[in-house]
Chain A
Amino acid sequence: MSTLTSLARALAAGRGFAQPVCTVRHVHIHERPLVFVPLALAGEAVAPLAAMAGDDPESPRLLVVAEPRDRDQRFAFAAELASVILPYIERHTSAEETVAGGRGRDDRVRFAGAPQVLVPNPDGIAFTRLLGRSTRFRRTEGEYAVPPSVPLLGRWLTFLAECAEHPGSCLLLAATDALALHWATGQSPVEDRSLGTIAGWIDPPPGRTGAQAAADAEDPVRCPPAGPATDPGFDNEVLEPRIAAVRAARAAGDERAWRRARSALAGALASQLQPTWELMWRAVALLRRLPPGGHVAARWDRDKDAFTAHVAHIRDGGPPQPRRDTAVAAARRLTWLEWVQASYAAQRALDDPLVMAEYRMSGEAFAGQVVAAESARVDSSGRKRVLRPHITVKTEDAVTVEPGASVTSPARPKQKAHVVSVAPAGGSTLVTVELSGGMGRGLTPPPGSVPGIGETVCYAALSDAYRPPPPFPEPENTPWTHGGPPPQYVPTDEDASEAWS
């Protein structure tokens, strides 16, 4: 935890209300997101018990598994969930948009929108991933066949869960993560993973402080846990007798009693889900109140690209996502994740002065007034004379950036800059920065393209510039140090079984 976040948390605890740690919203919020609140049976890895899902706050769809240990009912649940999620996803493939290629590349077409699924917490993402894993390899014919929508749902859930690993992707979001990104509460980061308490800190009901509202939300009767794990008291006192009643009615062959027991079970589960469902939409409303950051749209565009690519993969008859990454795929993915993470961190800082303040605290960024500027400085040491203005910034920040480092300014993110010298001057520091790019083609910079004397500027040793992925061997050339080439993937009946099943 950084010093600033610690301070914000201490302030939140002292004042009794969550403190904003961002000035803008760093996540994209869909105009009609699909909220998915799953509940799982305690003691099983991924045994769905119930779920509330839908994109209309007024009419959630309630799915209930009367006998969660029954595999057939489990996949019937998956088929029912597919009938909610797949049409929602399908809806985003109706409109397309054209993206200009630029730099000699062809224009390309992608879908104009992408689905967004919201779950209450990181455990909800883990549940989504596991449900995807347990359904995407299911066979649609032969023994234990499932409806074709089940493996398709599994592939989409897997896609969403994999995207959720990419920092900055908003296709699948956990509400608690999104809230904790923007507000510091007076509770611990572990407690922040409880949707009821974090929402209480941020948006308490009238007359209550955030701390009081969070304490209220700790009562599982007033505010049931946001899942997938259920409250053990509910399990013992409510759930178990009702499941037993359904089972008994079924064994007795009593149709009416069975229907009555089922609806009692559904009612009990709905009472557990409804408060979380409402909290989810409150979280959406809270996030919508913040203005979006400058790079949010660009990151959502990347999500649209990923979505378009996956639709194409499925339409072209591509195989489901493999259970494990091969050596080459894992290395490629790690490189990509590292870049996405660095670029996401840079973009958030460039979009938001409060996030930038963290970097100024650690010395990776500095802000101050321009005290000297050679805006028309020309470098003629190379083959061509080029415009390379120098500006000197006087800053009170504790600068750790070293000469030679590349820096970026939030005000002029397209302009390249690197530090020429860092010199202490009394209590402050003078940093001279050389600028290149973003100043037209001539040898005189257009007005405004170079910061003038007296202007307050900020530079950070952060960059969200695209780094092309380095070369990797083809999978068939996997070297001996990494086990040699992997065997060709051939779909088999064993695909759906786990090493431990």
Chain B
Amino acid sequence: MSEGAATDTTARPASGETADPGRLADRAAGAVLADLGSGRHRGVVVDSPPGAGKSALVVRAATELADAGERVMVVAQTNEQVDDLTDRLAADRPALPLARLSAQDYVPSRRVARHHQVTVSAQAHDVAGYPVVLSTAAKWATVGGDRVWPWAIVDEAYQMRSDLLLRVAGLFGRALFVGDPGQLDPFSTVQTGRWLGLTWDPMQSAVAVLLRHNPDLPVHQLPVSWRLPEPAAAVVSEAFYPFTGFRAGSTPQQRRLELTTRAFGGSPFDEAVETAAASGWALYELPGRHTVRTDAEAVTACAALAARILQRGAVSYSGPAVDAAPVTAGRIAIGTAHRDQAKAVRAVLEAEGLGGVTADTANRLQGREFDVVIVLHPLSGRRDATAFHLEAGRLCVLTSRHRHACLVVARAGIPELLDAHPSTEPVHLNVPVKFPDGWAANQAVMARLQQWKVRAP
């Protein structure tokens, strides 16, 4: 396969293009696998927007390599992710022997234990012969000796810190790196400018360091998000993936959210829920005010919106082949920037008997999927816009977890706050500029959300 063909699939679909999203996605995945199989590159990088079939690609690549007689190590970042991949691989190939390498105190989750073909072990030498071995990066980093796998598949590679890749990279010859560049970067508790500008800065993501040392590696983009509905894909693609872009895999007719009961009277909560059901977005705007982080009004509004969605009997439609599914508490999440905010939301939810609704920070929601997500905007009620609150990845994670609708709760005045706090991060020599800039991404999202604004009294 030529370079030209590889870039072809990564091009942004022209507006008005009516190509079948399934065909587009297939073509992109085919190009990745062709590059992988060609043997011309030590590594292949795949950038995937939210919900673009990243895991499916990992499973497909792992099975294709295993079919070709290669041994593959699969590296994910958390036990949860490894278990997910193990489960999917096992379901996909019931005859393929899999090994789940784990820490000593790991208890196999149900979805791993139910597959008889999966061997769980804490010792690398027990499982070295398996065609596919899966584990967390942290566990792989402890595997010593001269064991080398011809192939590695690194999942969520943009969330892996490069110092961890340094410890793992000796284990494999070639690798496929898959991840979402728009999400939260890995972080360190240490603040130092010591390594700024170094190509091997250990605080950077694994992919950033990999590409700075190997700029010739092919980088592919997955062009279709199967999770995000069309209105969400348009906003998220423009704000967070301005250069590559992506499109939704479903049409608004296929992906619908309906409310089965009618509101009695009409509260702003109902208005927000109805707007979200009709258009996929809602901005529930509270009166402008500077507040503490755990703004009681905003926290209550988040919980009340979740309650209202349940009370209104929301039902989701995902396509002609799929039956209507009621949106239950377990299919709703509330996302925040800080842990104390998530805690405050959980407290309100529990008091309301809505313990089934997930409330967590962006970092913890990363990689998860819900029908409806309610976002407490990171800048709501703040006096300043710090780098933490402006981080593009944070807002991207929060606004791209949903299959049907996203409701953003915020105090009025965020665009003005942004105008008053342009990004002032210093520029350093040899540090590649990161796009999109958090400030611009926040502005873009707020500008788009205005049309779905509901004002709270």
Chain A residues near B (Cβ < 8 Å): 165, 324-328, 330-331, 333-335, 337-338, 341-342, 362-363, 398, 400, 470-473, 477-484
Contact indicator A325/B43 (Cβ below 8 Å): no
Q: Say yes or no: A482-B190 contact (C-beta < 8 A), given A330-B198, A472-B166, A473-B170.
A: no
Smallest CB gap from B175: residue in A: A481
Smallest CB gap from B200: residue in A: A327
Does any Cβ of A come within 8 Å of B267's Cβ? no
For the complex, what is the distance from the CA of A338 to the CA of B202, rounded to whole Å? 12
Residues on A with C-beta less than 8 A from B195 are 325, 330, 334
Contact indicator B170/A477 (Cβ below 8 Å): yes
Does any Cβ of A come within 8 Å of B162's Cβ? yes
For the complex, what is the distance from the CA of A481 to the CA of B340, rounded to whole Å? 38
What are 26 of the A-B contact pairs (CB < 8 Å)?
A165-B194, A325-B194, A325-B195, A326-B200, A328-B166, A330-B200, A330-B202, A331-B162, A334-B202, A341-B189, A341-B190, A363-B343, A398-B343, A400-B343, A470-B142, A472-B167, A478-B166, A479-B166, A479-B170, A480-B214, A481-B166, A481-B169, A481-B206, A482-B165, A482-B166, A482-B200
For the complex, what is the distance from the CA of A342 to the CA of B339, rounded to whole Å? 19
Q: Mark B148-167, 1 if CB is under 8 A from A, else 0.
A: 00000000000000110111
Q: Which of B216-274 contact A (CB under 8 A)?
A: none
For the complex, what is the distance from the CA of A324 to the CA of B95, rounded to whole Å? 50
Write the nearest CB–CB distance from A110 to chain B, whole angstroms: 26
Contact indicator B141/A470 (Cβ below 8 Å): yes
For the complex, what is the distance from the CA of A299 to the CA of B219, rounded to whole Å? 47
Smallest CB gap from A328: residue in B: B166
Contact indicator B166/A473 (Cβ below 8 Å): yes
Chain B residues near A (Cβ < 8 Å): 42-43, 141-142, 144, 162-163, 165-167, 169-170, 188-190, 192, 194-195, 198-203, 206, 209-210, 213-214, 339-340, 343
Contact indicator B198/A324 (Cβ below 8 Å): yes
- Given A334-B195, A398-B343, A473-B167, 4 more contacts at CB 8 Å? A325-B198, A337-B192, A480-B169, A482-B165
Write the nearest CB–CB distance from A363 to chain B, whole angstroms: 7
Partner among A333, A334, A363, A481 whose Cβ is within 8 Å of the Cβ of B165: A481
Contact indicator A331/B144 (Cβ below 8 Å): no
Q: Say yes or no: A338-B167 contact (C-beta < 8 A), given A327-B200, A481-B214.
A: no
Residues on A with C-beta less than 8 A from B144 are 471
Contact indicator B340/A362 (Cβ below 8 Å): yes
For the complex, what is the distance from the CA of A338 to the CA of B201, rounded to whole Å? 15
8 pairs of A and B residues whose beta carbons are closest in the complex: A479-B169, A331-B163, A327-B200, A483-B213, A481-B169, A337-B190, A334-B202, A331-B202
Contact indicator B213/A482 (Cβ below 8 Å): yes
Smallest CB gap from A500: residue in B: B429
Smallest CB gap from B292: residue in A: A3
For the complex, what is the distance from the CA of A398 to the CA of B343, rounded to whole Å? 10
Residues on A with C-beta less than 8 A from B190 are 334, 337-338, 341
Contact indicator A327/B192 (Cβ below 8 Å): no
Partner among A335, A362, A481 whose Cβ is within 8 Å of the Cβ of B43: A481
- Residue picked from B141, B144, B190, B214, most chain A C-beta under 10 Å: B190
Smallest CB gap from B343: residue in A: A400
Write the nearest CB–CB distance from B347 to chain A, whole angstroms: 9
Write the nearest CB–CB distance from B70 to chain A, whole angstroms: 19
Smallest CB gap from B177: residue in A: A481
For the complex, what is the distance from the CA of A331 to the CA of B201, rounded to whole Å? 8
Residues on B with C-beta less than 8 A from A470 are 141-142, 167
Contact indicator B167/A331 (Cβ below 8 Å): yes
Residues on A with C-beta less than 8 A from B202 are 327, 330-331, 334
Contact indicator B213/A480 (Cβ below 8 Å): yes
For the complex, what is the distance from the CA of A70 to the CA of B61, rounded to whole Å? 64
For the complex, what is the distance from the CA of A328 to the CA of B166, rounded to whole Å? 8
Residues on B with C-beta less than 8 A from A333 are 194
Residues on B with C-beta less than 8 A from A165 are 192, 194
Q: Say yes or no: A331-B166 contact (C-beta < 8 A), given A400-B343, A481-B209.
A: yes
Write the nearest CB–CB distance from B116 to chain A, whole angstroms: 28
For the complex, what is the distance from the CA of A481 to the CA of B194, rounded to whole Å? 21
For the complex, what is the distance from the CA of A247 to the CA of B169, rounded to whole Å? 60
For the complex, what is the distance from the CA of A326 to the CA of B201, rounded to whole Å? 9
For the complex, what is the distance from the CA of A325 to the CA of B202, rounded to whole Å? 10
Smallest CB gap from A400: residue in B: B343
For the complex, what is the distance from the CA of A335 to the CA of B167, rounded to whole Å? 12
Contact indicator B142/A481 (Cβ below 8 Å): no
Write the nearest CB–CB distance from B427 to chain A, whole angstroms: 15
Residues on B with C-beta less than 8 A from A326 are 200
Write the nearest CB–CB distance from A443 to chain B, whole angstroms: 25
Residues on A with C-beta less than 8 A from B198 are 324-325, 330
Residues on B with C-beta less than 8 A from A477 are 170
For the complex, what is the distance from the CA of A377 to the CA of B2, rounded to whole Å? 70
Residues on A with C-beta less than 8 A from B200 are 326-327, 330-331, 482-483
For the complex, what is the distance from the CA of A328 to the CA of B200, rounded to whole Å? 9
Smallest CB gap from A483: residue in B: B213
Contact indicator B167/A327 (Cβ below 8 Å): no
Partner among B42, B43, B141 whose Cβ is within 8 Å of the Cβ of A471: B141
Partner among B141, B199, B206, B343 whose Cβ is within 8 Å of the Cβ of A483: B199
For the complex, what is the distance from the CA of A477 to the CA of B167, rounded to whole Å? 10
Write the nearest CB–CB distance from A228 to chain B, whole angstroms: 18
For the complex, what is the distance from the CA of A34 to the CA of B195, rounded to whole Å? 30
For the complex, what is the distance from the CA of A477 to the CA of B190, rounded to whole Å? 26
For the complex, what is the distance from the CA of A165 to the CA of B190, rounded to whole Å? 10
For the complex, what is the distance from the CA of A471 to the CA of B43, rounded to whole Å? 24
Write the nearest CB–CB distance from A386 to chain B, whole angstroms: 17
Residues on B with C-beta less than 8 A from A327 are 166, 200, 202
Residues on A with C-beta less than 8 A from B142 are 470-471
Write the nearest CB–CB distance from B102 to chain A, whole angstroms: 17
Residues on B with C-beta less than 8 A from A342 are 189
For the complex, what is the distance from the CA of A337 to the CA of B167, rounded to whole Å? 17
For the complex, what is the distance from the CA of A335 to the CA of B202, rounded to whole Å? 10
Write the nearest CB–CB distance from A39 to chain B, whole angstroms: 24
For the complex, what is the distance from the CA of A482 to the CA of B164, rounded to whole Å? 11
Write the nearest CB–CB distance from B359 to chain A, whole angstroms: 13
Residues on B with C-beta less than 8 A from A478 are 166
Contact indicator B201/A330 (Cβ below 8 Å): yes
For the complex, what is the distance from the CA of A133 to the CA of B179, rounded to whole Å? 39
For the complex, what is the distance from the CA of A328 to the CA of B43, rounded to whole Å? 21
Residues on B with C-beta less than 8 A from A473 are 166-167, 170
Smallest CB gap from A6: residue in B: B292
Write the nearest CB–CB distance from A366 to chain B, whole angstroms: 14
Residues on B with C-beta less than 8 A from A335 are 163
For the complex, what is the distance from the CA of A435 to the CA of B159, rounded to whole Å? 36
Contact indicator B167/A482 (Cβ below 8 Å): no
For the complex, what is the distance from the CA of A278 to the CA of B164, rounded to whole Å? 48
For the complex, what is the distance from the CA of A174 to the CA of B211, rounded to whole Å? 39
Residues on A with C-beta less than 8 A from B165 are 481-482
Contact indicator A471/B209 (Cβ below 8 Å): no
Smallest CB gap from A479: residue in B: B169
For the complex, what is the distance from the CA of A400 to the CA of B144, rounded to whole Å? 37
For the complex, what is the distance from the CA of A331 to the CA of B167, rounded to whole Å? 9
- Residue picked from B169, B170, B200, most chain A C-beta under 10 Å: B200
For the complex, what is the distance from the CA of A411 to the CA of B170, rounded to whole Å? 45
Residues on A with C-beta less than 8 A from B209 are 481-482
For the complex, what is the distance from the CA of A400 to the CA of B360, rounded to whole Å? 13
For the complex, what is the distance from the CA of A179 to the CA of B320, rounded to whole Å? 68
Write the nearest CB–CB distance from A387 to chain B, whole angstroms: 21
Residues on A with C-beta less than 8 A from B206 are 481
For the complex, what is the distance from the CA of A125 to the CA of B1, rounded to whole Å? 55
Q: Say yes or no: A482-B201 contact (C-beta < 8 A), given A165-B194, A338-B190, A471-B144.
A: no
Residues on B with C-beta less than 8 A from A480 are 42, 169, 213-214
For the complex, what is the distance from the CA of A333 to the CA of B190, rounded to whole Å? 11
For the complex, what is the distance from the CA of A337 to the CA of B189, rounded to whole Å? 9
Q: Say yes or no: A471-B189 contact (C-beta < 8 A), given A481-B210, A483-B200.
A: no
Partner among A324, A334, A400, A481 whose Cβ is within 8 Å of the Cβ of B203: A334
For the complex, what is the distance from the CA of A282 to the CA of B202, rounded to whole Å? 40
Write the nearest CB–CB distance from B349 to chain A, whole angstroms: 15
Residues on A with C-beta less than 8 A from B192 are 165, 337
